[in-house]
Structure 1
């Protein structure tokens, strides 16, 4: 009985091996076909800024030891550049808003009513 199980196991392993390798009459010579490397299918858009949906939909291709380093570097570089550009634009807009608010608070009417003094403690000019 034990001998029968060993023989059956060897036959099954041989059949699976031949099926995977493709032996027996295939013109590839029993060698597995070469798989093409995965590439980034849907890269980040080049014609417009990257949005949240673009990042959520992004799927990086896998390599034997994780993700393809070149694709990851490209995506991180693009996202870093866009974030730096947005940070600069936000700073520019905040500075412009602060200038507008300063003009609105201390507008041109501040000096017309004569209540401004040159030195503290001095009476307002009339």
Structure 2
């Protein structure tokens, strides 16, 4: 008796999977891209402030976010130090270097 119960249960489960797989259970909602766009300037060189605003999307097997953030912070700081060391009237604060 118990064996028949499990057999019927398995057949019903397989039937449910078949109905869902055939699309009769409704369709999935449309997929959308939830990754943030990298908002980098295209008409000028990248500046230190641009690097500070960059955020990368999370990924299962991607880079460690803290390491990427640390590198971007270091690059931004080095760009600002280089700007301060350059002789002459350099670009004002917040503007990119023209390397």
Normalised-by-shorter TM-score class: 0.3 to 0.5
Larger relative contact order (Cα-Cα within 8 Å, sequence gap ≥ 6)? 2
TM-score by length of 1: 0.34
TM-score by length of 2: 0.39
